[in-house]
Amino acid sequence: MTEKTTSPDELGAASCSLPLVIAYGGGINSTAMLCGFRERGIVPSLILFADTKGEHPRTYQHLADISALCKVWWGLEIETVKKLYQGQHEGLEEESLRKRILPSLAYGYKACSVKHKVEPQTRRTKQWMAENGVLNVRRAIGYHSGEGHRAIGMNADDLKKGRTAYNWYPLIEWQWRQAECLEAIKRHGLTAPGKSSCFFCPIMKRHEILDLRKNNPDLFARAIAIESNLDIKGPKKGLAMGIPWTEIVAADDNQAKLFDWIDDHAAMPTPCGCYDG
């Protein structure tokens, strides 16, 4: 599906009648976006959540709660889409173990979000369009107004003919930053969700890694298993952009703060690009 980044004003009045497909990530941004649609009387046609099978348990619980709320608001539940391998749902953790590699973000690429987030949502959107005889849709993505850089470069096919999906960033248009997003969630009596990301994401900060070990030791052990399963010929040895998590927790245990750079955004790559928020 070819895409174009635009706004309703650029598309014209007719664009507002296009079916709205929402990329729901399970975090603060996309939850606030739903609240904003509710406040503005905007009714979605399809709400999609791409399941990497690696989200934190709190995200899956939040997803269930918000899906039930969407059923009340619009008679529409959030639909889960998945990346397939040989006809079966394969999560990012399973793919990493099968290939004996780390998630692509550890190597400086964003293929994991493309394969496990973007492509499943695009596939389902195209299927829904065919089922409903729809030629064009707006796709709402929850980047807030402080994340405008994340929308840049998403649409390499912008100038190609035959585009059918127009990416729309409502929070940027509404000039909502995270503070406004949190306020919107609060207005609707909802609890702000925790950060939405894979529990083994390579751009997790040191304190998040240590917190995972303390509060979710089973998930921490699964992350370590990804590292332990690596092909030894690979260029990276650990999830933390080459540093093994085992070394990070050992340094903390020894009170040797050798890895403080992990908490410095300047040392981290750009966000993973997941259709999140």
Quick one: 145 and 238 in the same domain? no
Helix (H), strand (E), coil (C) string for 178-240: HHHHHHHHHHCCCCCCCCCCECCCCCCCHHHHHHHHHHCHHHHHHHHHHHHCCCCCCCCCCCE
Lookup result for tokens 């005889």? 133
Please say whether the beta carbons of 167 and 22 come within 8 A.
no
Does residue 192 form part of some domain?
no
Looking at the structure, do residues 8 and 39 belong to the same domain, yes or no? yes
115: CATH: 3.40.50.620
Q: Is residue 277 part of a domain?
A: no
Same domain (yes/no): 222, 112: no
Is 27 a domain residue? yes
Final residue before a domain boundary, out of 154, 187, 220: 187
Q: Residue 49: which H helix or E strand, with range?
A: strand 46-51
In-domain check, residue 125: yes
Torsion sign over Cα 96, 100, 105, 106: positive
Same domain, 138 and 218: no
Of the residues 187, 221, 243, which one is the last residue of a structural domain? 187
* pLDDT at residue 191 tops 50: yes
Residues 174, 212, single domain; the answer is no
Domain co-membership, 54 together with 22: yes
pLDDT band of residue 148 (cuts 50, 70, 90) is: low
Neighbours of 149 (CB within 10 A): 10
Element (H, E) at 40: helix 28-40
Residue 77 lies in a domain: yes
pLDDT digits (tens, 9 = 90+) for 200-250: 999 899 999 999 999 999 999 999 999 999 886 655 678 988 889 998 998
Q: Does a structural domain hold residue 276? A: no
Q: Let me know whether 165 and 254 are in one domain.
A: no
CB 120 within 8 Å of CB 82: yes
Domain presence at residue 260: yes
What is the span of the domain harbouring residue 217?
A: 206-267
Domain termination site, one of 159, 187, 215? 187
Kindly state the average pLDDT of the residues 183-208: 92
Per-residue tokens: 28: 């603060």
pLDDT band at 50 (very low <50, low <70, confident <90, very high): very high
In this structure, are 227 and 111 located in the same domain?
no
Domain count, the chain: 2
- CA-based end-to-end distance of the chain: 22
What integer pLDDT is reported at residue 97 of this predicted model?
96
140 and 22 in a common domain = yes
As a whole number, the mean pLDDT across the chain is 84
Q: Count Cβ neighbours within 10 Å for each residue of 203-234 and write b for 16 or more, e otherwise.
A: bbebebbbebbeebeebbeebbebbeebeeee
DSSP state, residue 243: B
80 Cβ contact partners less than 8 Å away, ≥ 6 residues apart: 48, 49, 50, 51, 63
Residue 201 in any domain: the answer is: no
